[in-house]
Amino acid sequence: MSEALIDIRNLTVRLAGGRDAVLVDDVSLAVGKGEVLCIVGESGCGKTVTARSIIGLTRHDPRFSLSGEIHFEGRDLMRLGADELRQVQGAGIAMIFQDPMTSLNPLHRIGRQIGEVLTLHGKHSSTEIRRRTVELLRQVGIPNPETRIDDYPHQFSGGMRQRAMIAMALACSPSLLIADEPTTALDVTTQKQILTLIKKLKVDYGMGLILITHDLGIVAEIADRVMVMYAGRCVEIGAVRALFRTPQHPYTAGLLASIPAANRVRGERLPSIRGVPPILSEGRPQGCAFLPRCDFALGQCRNLPPLKASGAETDHLDRCWLTPEVKNQTLRRLQEGAQA
């Protein structure tokens, strides 16, 4: 990995108010300049809470209690006051949210909302702000930006609203962009366009990118590294090719096996992971949280395994008690069966 742009160490997020519910448990990760890290996992596994904690949106939310370290460009964001953190948000780290219709204010024009970001992070005249906003809208592929700048969000299609959100995120040329499932609510053609746009802008701006997604096809296309989350914990992290080729955790293998294959016989049942994930707000299972759903469980899985390198690649880590020999046999068979 290149020089770390952001280095997160032992991030833990709990529900406040007396409930002992850990939503994100001891997560550590780093993203280099120009690198793409994808975070995958089922709904409720802690992906979005992790992302919102990185940018600081849970710091002053009374519902959450945070601990750990988030080092960004030489500063620990966990130690910054509200005003200092606000200067980092948008200028240093920006975020694209999942639903642009709820993220954009329906009462204000698109141009005004993008312009607010520029006003907050610099001294610009109204003429300069309008010129820069038109430039951003053009850059993200919105036609006729000189006139569309004065439209309201409801006058934009879903894809155009997402492009406007991307323009807002890029307004101050951030070093790190976090995209929380930016293509979920869009049709397939628009998804492809938005993904292509994000890839291009990442190169143009030289940003690091953290992308949260359910789509493993997107992961295979865009990621440099992948972190798999389950029940608030990182269960596997490594280079995308190594992780797709030889997954080291049964949960990762199950996710990969559930991808529809092009040569699958029509009507053949798609493999799935049995059971359901735990509800973290109701408490955490003891030991490995995946134990009740795992077909390869051992007795020692009642104890929490550490996150460690179990294969030849020291930067490919997993949280599983299975030996490398067992993993190479059973997990590969699982994948081959899914592709048959």
| pLDDT (tens digit per residue) in 161-175 | 999 999 999 998 899
Question: Which amino acid is it at 106?
Answer: P
- Contact call for residues 55 and 93 (beta carbons, < 8 A): yes
Q: Which residues contact 303 (CB under 8 A, 6 or more apart)?
A: 287, 288, 321
Average per-residue pLDDT for the chain: 88
Give the whole-number percent of the chain exceeding pLDDT 90.
53
CA distance 259 to 63: 36
Contact between 227 and 3 under an 8 Å Cβ cutoff? The reply is no
Please report the DSSP string for 7-32 in residue order.
EEEEEEEEE-SS---EEEEEEEEEEE
| pLDDT > 80? residue 336 | no
Structure tokens that stand for 307 in this block? 């996150």
How many CB atoms within 10 Å of residue 82? Answer: 9
Report the CATH number of the 4-223 domain: 3.40.50.300
Taking CA atoms, 41 is separated from 182, 231, 232, 338, in Å, by 15, 9, 10, 19
pLDDT tier for residue 59 given thresholds of 50, 70 and 90? confident
H/E stretch holding 100 reads: helix 100-103
With a cut of 60, say whether residue 41 has pLDDT above it: yes
Average pLDDT, integer, range 24-48: 94
Domain positions in the chain: 4-223, 242-339
To the nearest 10 degrees (0 to 180), the angle between helices 126-139 and 110-120 is: 120
Q: Which residue shows structure tokens 């120009």?
A: 34
pLDDT in tens, 289-330: 999 999 888 889 999 999 998 766 678 999 999 887 777 766
Whether the Cβ atoms of residue 153 and residue 102 lie closer than 8 Å to each other: no
pLDDT at site 331? 64
Q: Is the predicted pLDDT of residue 34 greater than 80, yes or no?
A: yes
Distance set, CA 60 to CA 69, 116, 135, 307 (Å):
16, 22, 34, 30
Helices (H), 108-227: 110-120, 126-139, 145-148, 158-170, 188-205, 216-222
Residues found in the chain: 340
Tens-place pLDDT, residues 238-272? 999 999 988 899 999 889 888 776 555 566 677 78
pLDDT at 339: 52
**Segment 66-122, tens digit of pLDDT:** 999 999 988 999 999 888 998 898 889 999 988 777 889 999 999 999 999 888 887
At 322, list the tokens. 């299975």
Query: What are the tens digits of pLDDT across the range 171-199?
Result: 988 999 999 998 877 888 888 888 899 99
Cα dihedral sign, 120-122-123-128: negative
